[in-house]
Structure 1
Amino acid sequence: MRIVRINARKAALIALCSGAPLAAQPAETPAPDEADEIIVTGRASRLYRANEISSGKLPADPLASPLVINVITEQLIADQGARDAQDLYRNIPGVSFFSYAGVTARGFRQEEIFYDGLRGDPYAGFSVPQLFNIERVEFLKGPAGMLYGPGAPGGLFNYITRKPTDRFFARVSGSLGNRDRYGGSAEINAPLGAGFAARAGVFFEDQDSFRVNAGSQTFIADGGLRYDFGPAQLTLQANHYDQDLAANRLRGIPADNDGNFLTTIRWNHNEPGDFLNLRSDVLQARLEAQPVQGVTFDATLRYNDALETQNYHEPQGLFDSDGDGVLDATIREFRDQARNQETWSFGTNLVWTAELGANVRNRVLVGYDRYTADFVFDSRQLRGRNRVTPGLPDPLSLFDPQYGQSDPATYNLPAMTRTLTGQRREGFYVLDEITVGPVIGVIGMRHDRFRDRSGTTSFSGSDETLRAGLVYRVTPEISLFGQYAQSFEPQAIASQNPLAGGPFAPTSGDIFEGGVRTGLWGGRLQSTLAVYQIRRRNILQADPRGDPGGDGVNDFVAFGEVTSKGFELDLAADITPDWVTTLAYAYNDTRITETLGTTPPTNSVGDRFANAPRHKLGFWTRYQFREPGIAIAFGGDHVSEQLSLDGQRVRPYMVFDASLIWERGPWRALVRVDNLFDKTYAASGFITRSGHFPGEPRTVFLEVTHRW
């Protein structure tokens, strides 16, 4: 019998390249004269490439799909030391930071976030999704109405959570960094026998912010149980999120019209006692089955209960405090807020697959999803003046801020007001995919019903969306694709007042897109080149006639069109067995193409849109030195000039990051440096009184991990 000897380090390399856990390493090493040694030729292979995409509801090889879906793999997240969603945008062409968890996607502001294909984001309000219990992140580009219901036409995030598997795996990690950063995490996954498997994990991290008074403390507890009973699998998951952000909610730094900050980026408009705290709990159950040959079925139920509480001082207007002509202070408004959300999501899919001939295959998807959300918003606020006034919030200097002198306990606060709102979303859809030789055709339709409620006001409606796509496999490694898809968004409930001209039909969107994909060199080079045009119509604007009905309420009219055009290049390549790289470039031009010439659409600035850069470039490259087990990685992120919501310039920027990774046997150490050259820049703009959002200065941290 031939015995193959693989030392611990090489076993680790094979496991990581194949996706197997490190527990697969052999327990003993035979003597050299009893074995033939296998030489592991590379560490980098397949680290950043995705062999399957799932956010299109029908799992597919990227080369066989007309959808454009960017996948951020678990290994890329680990190598970049990513902690939250904002750390990932460099890897996605056409996606850039807007504010908090919101992004600009292909020119449009986008905030749709899904977990395992369902609504129910546990990060309520102004918190940013963390990545500890995330296996991978998929971003579906363009209108996704037929697949996911109401949403913006730029795309949506789908976070795929970690679930129990039938292989043993365990690890513990500890981290230290600048700004008093420290933390740790632990995870274990184990088969329990009799068809059961379980996983559990905890994460904690504490860090001061570069903004004075501010900091963050995050705790996540994650658990799951899977039961495989032959024809079906049942997976149960529970997650708890606890995040305390000191001296938040953080707004920006005031800037001039040329994009220069008026004061240091350490400045904070909040008092030391201000806070933003989040408590969120998620329960999820998923059933997967194959009742008969060629038929698969899944059903997922997700529940989320989240409470976000905030006390903060909102900037309300710059002024000249000493008459020298220089804006040097801001009026502040104290806000006391609590947001509670309770959501239920349910989704089910049935897929029938049949071979209809020698080179003919058909897949039919039938699905249904439902989402209900109830929101309770308690709030009160009190605005100060441009001078110290008893019982009111003090103004704050930009250059010599005196914290701790304005105490909310002394404010003459009004009583809390409560707003109750709710959403109901329900959709039925069918999608057919037929493959005839090298040609793959997809066509689908969805019917949605929705109901929104605010106080005693409610509005309901329905809409239909379509999707059609075509793929031609020129060779097994090259495919051409094209698609047409639609989206819709119900108008805000506040705009449906009949006295203001309502009710109004939803805003609609559609896309025409085409491109080429490759999986060259045996799949070592994955690339997508896409060209698209997105149109967004039926946008509410103020009626230029004011109040034509004479009912005392100014009217709206649903009119207008915004067009987004662009192209994107995305690639992940194993240049050599030890060298891997990714590249993400996007060009976008989003403009108002039809308007009444009066009140412009939301987020528009002239004929352009806020925080919609024309050029965006991100790259990441990693080289593995085999013998010492060391890898070096380097990346960059460029965003071209933007405009804030008030039309102020947001300067272009380019920042660089680096990682040093050491792996030997069960040990892994990562040294991560963000903003390597400590560049001062604005990531995006907002409004004049609250300024531009500053980018993170240089941060350094060390993370050490042991695996079993």
Structure 2
Amino acid sequence: MKQFNQFAARPSAMSRALRKAFVYMTLAGTPALLSTAAYAQAVANDESTSATGVGAGDAALPTVTVNAAGESGQHLQTQSANGALGSRSVLDTPFSITSVTADDLADKQILKLGDVFSNDASVSDNSGGYSAWASYITIRGLPADWQNSFRIDGKPFLGYGITLPYDHFERIDLLKGSSGFMYGFGTPGGLVNYISKKPTDTPVRSVSVGYTSGNIWSEHVDLGGRFGNDQMFGYRLNATHDQGETFNEGYLRRNSVSLALDARLTRDLTWDFQSIWQNSNSDDQTPSIYTANYTGATLPSVISGGNRTLVGPGQHLNTNFQLYQTGLTYRINPDWKANLSYSHSSARRNRNEQTIYLKNAAGDYDNYRSDYLEAHTYDQWQAMVEGNARTGFLEHQLVFGASWQKQVNDYTVNSIYQLSGTGNIYAQNTNAYYSNTALRTYHAGEITQQALFASDTLKFSERWSVLAGLRYNQFEQNAFGIGGNRTSTYSKNATTPTVALMFKPEPNTTVYTSYVESLEQGGTPSLGQDNYGQQLKPLTSKQYEVGAKTSQQGWSATAALFRIERAAEYTLGNALVQDGQSIYQGLELGGAYRPAPQWQLGASLMLLDATYKKGSTFTGNRVAGAPKNMATAQIAYLVPQVAGLKLMADAKYTGNTMLRAANDIELSSYTLFNLGASYTTRLGKYDTTFRAAVNNLLDKRYWQYQYENYIKPGDPRTFSVSAKLDF
């Protein structure tokens, strides 16, 4: 706290200026945010009177039009690039996709990945604000694979421990189900693809300031445009600074910069470049609770996630993330284009972290402390050609490509994992441990993937089409000892097909059935397990899906029936093992409806049956972490009496969940409510948007499932406000 107070007393000049602007703008916008129609009328009258003296064109408050309530549906018309599948709209993709736009993200005041998909009933939130678990989600009952389930513009990066700067992205897409054909190895639950902000033909100039409870201030700048002869060069620069005290009296300091460039070298040849750099330092994050040694069938009463009771002195999470990618795109002719790209990403973590080993219903625990460094890098080359052709009466949308990817994992030579004391979850944790500054890493493993892929969407008529695709993968996994000697090698060649039949009863509706096979990287045992550091062999999966999507004037709807067959992984004793199968069968329903121009309604539902099969131990049990049912509901309202004011509310129900494969401990269901408001107006000559959001409105206490045998207290109620000025 002393460190925080000293730094907070000397904020940068930029921070001071932006915060003063924020206070001024917030005071100016507060009456509208509170829907005070009388105040708005008084302002309008005052502006009208002033206009007679200085000129109506300068002083009159312009009409502000906000279309968010009509545009915030399911985004089925969004064009989405899906790896080997090529570019097509979400509506015309024979798989389930959720797309969250930059406006959606801004309205929600996002803290962690679980918040991004809070309106999707197929996504369980396993994440925790400001912690190493901030990117943990479960999709259709399957955990997102932190090594292979994350992409930025389709390029791989490691998601574990990394909270990306969400305001640097144009949208975030979630491809639900097996992604193996489109991107190579990956969990059959789904894949998250962050779409970065790119240069625009229209200049972009904005600055925003925000505040989040407990006491975190954020500043963000977004600049973009084109320059040069014939507007040849484009740029987009985003920079964000977050600093202050977190909701559990921890501390955060995070700086992020992203830069996107492009150059129209000729009429047909374009070069592009994207980069993201982020450095994050946090102290006193809420620890996770490990229950493998817990005795009893009922967990202790839930504690608040909003205090530091579980936090012992010395904890920190310091991360550095970098991604650089570049490519050339050549327009061969109006129907064909080719692309060659290269990307490099690195993620480095320095963690001093507690794990609470819960022992009994009274809340007693053993306190283990880990202290280690980890680093991961990805390099990828990819060449792809896509276009349209015709053979007789058949139309073809063709994609051909090849890729090479290498992943390097570095782990700590002298990591610490030790008992540091005992305690009780209802009393302040006093177990202290301060980091070993001499930690160093060694080259622990390499994973190389090479692939050839091709797909053809054959269009028989305006209504009927068939997708057929094939991906050939060469996978090699090598493990090394501390001295550099190779300790194990695993290699596998596999061909993973996909096929889909699509029917369009009318242009804005698609009915489909699809089948896809996938390979995913085997699990990595966690620190403290007997086989920690031993990457398990790849898993195979199959997915069957039947679905429908429609996007109509004023409403949209989606539905999907799915079955996923996957080799099972779970903890047995104190080791991560592979045994038998896990079968996931479910129904997804989603819809958005605009009954009137000022109203927007939305809802989604997932019913899931996830069961272990053909194993030696837990056959017939529910799969850990897979809730039987989930539901969401949203409402947005444009207040007609105050132009530019939008009010929002949403709720999410998460059904009961089994904590582990033995099914002897069940986490209770819970419902969270959120509120929000945004107000768009003009201050002087500048478009300005004020936003406010309250997450977990009722300050609900609940045990949140994070991973098999791991739980944490859910994040408490948080309040966020921001002001954005376009200039």
Greater CA drift, 58-67 or 511-520: 58-67
The letter for the 2-side match of 1:608 is R
The letter for the 2-side match of 1:698 is R
Q: What SS is found at the alignment partner of 1:216?
A: strand
Tell me the equivalent position of 1:483.
Answer: 514
2:558 to 519, 528, 541: 528
The letter for the 2-side match of 1:701 is S
Asked if the contact 2:356/2:365 (under 8 Å) is kept, the reply is yes
Tell me the equivalent position of 1:663.
Answer: 680
Tell me the equivalent position of 2:546.
Answer: 514
Q: How does 1:44-193 map to 2 (within 5 A)?
A: 44-48=69-73, 49-56=75-82, 57-99=85-127, 100=133, 101-111=135-145, 112-121=149-158, 123=159, 125-193=160-228
Counterparts of 1:342 and 1:539 in 2: how far apart (Å)?
Answer: 25
Tell me the equivalent position of 1:642.
Answer: 657
The letter for the 1-side match of 2:711 is H
Counterparts of 1:184 and 1:556 in 2: how far apart (Å)?
Answer: 42
Asked if the contact 2:570/2:708 (under 8 Å) is kept, the reply is no
Deviations 1:350-384 (A, max 9, x none): 11212556x74211100122211112111422523
Counterparts of 2:226 and 2:375 in 1: how far apart (Å)?
Answer: 37
Counterparts of 2:280 and 2:632 in 1: how far apart (Å)?
Answer: 29
Tell me the equivalent position of 2:631.
Answer: 617
Tell me the equivalent position of 1:24.
Answer: none
Q: How does 1:123-522 map to 2 (within 5 A)?
A: 123=159, 125-194=160-229, 195-211=232-248, 213-229=249-265, 230-248=267-285, 250-252=287-289, 257-261=297-301, 263-265=303-305, 266-318=307-359, 327-356=362-391, 360-378=394-412, 379-384=414-419, 393-401=420-428, 403=430, 406-408=432-434, 418=442, 420-437=444-461, 438-455=463-480, 456=486, 457-491=488-522, 506-521=538-553
Q: What SS is found at the alignment partner of 1:44?
A: helix
The letter for the 1-side match of 2:631 is L
The letter for the 1-side match of 2:202 is R
The letter for the 1-side match of 2:580 is G
Q: What SS is found at the alignment partner of 1:612?
A: coil
Asked if the contact 2:80/2:89 (under 8 Å) is kept, the reply is no
Counterparts of 2:705 and 2:577 in 1: how far apart (Å)?
Answer: 30
Deviations 1:193-217 (A, max 9, x none): 2200111111112243333x53333
Give the % identical residues: 17
Tell me the equivalent position of 2:595.
Answer: 575
Q: What SS is found at the alignment partner of 1:577?
A: coil
Displacement of 1:530 after TM fit? 0.7
Deviations 1:87-110 (A, max 9, x none): 122223311123522322112222
Deviations 1:54-83 (A, max 9, x none): 243322233333122111122211221224
Deviations 1:156-202 (A, max 9, x none): 11111111122201110011232112111111002112200111111
Deviations 1:196-248 (A, max 9, x none): 0111111112243333x533332111112110122022111221111112123
Counterparts of 1:414 and 1:575 in 2: how far apart (Å)?
Answer: 63
Q: What SS is found at the alignment partner of 1:63?
A: coil
Asked if the contact 1:214/1:272 (under 8 Å) is kept, the reply is no
Change (3 A) 1:189 1:621: same
Greater CA drift, 131-140 or 215-224: 215-224
Counterparts of 2:337 and 2:163 in 1: how far apart (Å)?
Answer: 34
TM-score (norm. length: structure 2): 0.80
Tell me how large the CA RMSD over aligned residues is: 3.3
Change (3 A) 1:270 1:477: same
Displacement of 1:44 after TM fit? 2.6
Displacement of 1:590 after TM fit? 0.6
Tell me the equivalent position of 1:3.
Answer: none
Asked if the contact 2:490/2:537 (under 8 Å) is kept, the reply is no
Greater CA drift, 38-47 or 102-111: 38-47
Displacement of 1:262 after TM fit? 5.6
Counterparts of 1:414 and 1:169 in 2: how far apart (Å)?
Answer: 46
Counterparts of 1:469 and 1:335 in 2: how far apart (Å)?
Answer: 47
Change (3 A) 1:434 1:343: same
Tell me the equivalent position of 1:25.
Answer: none
Deviations 1:415-467 (A, max 9, x none): 87746111111111000001122111100001001111111122222111010
Q: How does 1:2-81 map to 2 (within 5 A)?
A: 44-48=69-73, 49-56=75-82, 57-81=85-109
Q: What SS is found at the alignment partner of 1:75?
A: helix
The letter for the 2-side match of 1:655 is L
Asked if the contact 2:311/2:429 (under 8 Å) is kept, the reply is no
The 4+ residue runs of structure 1 with deviation greater than 6 A are: 37-41, 253-256, 413-417, 502-505, 538-543, 555-558
Counterparts of 2:370 and 2:626 in 1: how far apart (Å)?
Answer: 30
Q: What SS is found at the alignment partner of 1:79?
A: helix
Counterparts of 1:215 and 1:252 in 2: how far apart (Å)?
Answer: 21
Structure 1, unaligned stretches of length 5 or more? Answer: 1-29, 320-325, 385-392, 495-501, 544-554
Change (3 A) 1:533 1:167: same
Counterparts of 2:577 and 2:706 in 1: how far apart (Å)?
Answer: 28
Greater CA drift, 246-255 or 276-285: 246-255
Counterparts of 2:226 and 2:387 in 1: how far apart (Å)?
Answer: 31
TM-score (norm. length: structure 1): 0.82
Change (3 A) 1:492 1:50: closer
Greater CA drift, 445-454 or 610-619: 610-619
Q: What SS is found at the alignment partner of 2:298?
A: coil
Counterparts of 2:287 and 2:156 in 1: how far apart (Å)?
Answer: 26
The letter for the 1-side match of 2:621 is D
The letter for the 2-side match of 1:307 is R
Counterparts of 1:492 and 1:399 in 2: how far apart (Å)?
Answer: 33
Change (3 A) 1:63 1:311: closer
Counterparts of 1:41 and 1:260 in 2: how far apart (Å)?
Answer: 47
Asked if the contact 1:196/1:228 (under 8 Å) is kept, the reply is yes
Asked if the contact 1:363/1:433 (under 8 Å) is kept, the reply is yes
Q: What SS is found at the alignment partner of 2:356?
A: strand
Matched, 1:696 2:715: yes
Displacement of 1:634 after TM fit? 0.7
The letter for the 2-side match of 1:239 is I
2:668 to 634, 651, 664: 651
Asked if the contact 1:270/1:312 (under 8 Å) is kept, the reply is no
Q: What SS is found at the alignment partner of 1:315?
A: strand
Change (3 A) 1:439 1:347: same
Change (3 A) 1:402 1:636: closer
Q: What SS is found at the alignment partner of 2:260?
A: strand
Q: What SS is found at the alignment partner of 1:90?
A: coil
The letter for the 1-side match of 2:585 is K
Counterparts of 1:493 and 1:215 in 2: how far apart (Å)?
Answer: 29
Q: What SS is found at the alignment partner of 2:114?
A: helix
Deviations 1:232-275 (A, max 9, x none): 22111221111112123731498974344364443554433210
1:678 to 692, 699, 703: 699
Q: Number of aligned pairs?
A: 628
Displacement of 1:136 after TM fit? 0.9
Counterparts of 2:66 and 2:174 in 1: how far apart (Å)?
Answer: 32
2:604 to 574, 584, 587: 584
Deviations 1:320-374 (A, max 9, x none): xxxxxx74542222321001122212222211212556x7421110012221111
Q: How does 1:591-630 map to 2 (within 5 A)?
A: 591-595=611-615, 597-598=616-617, 600=618, 607-626=621-640, 627-630=642-645
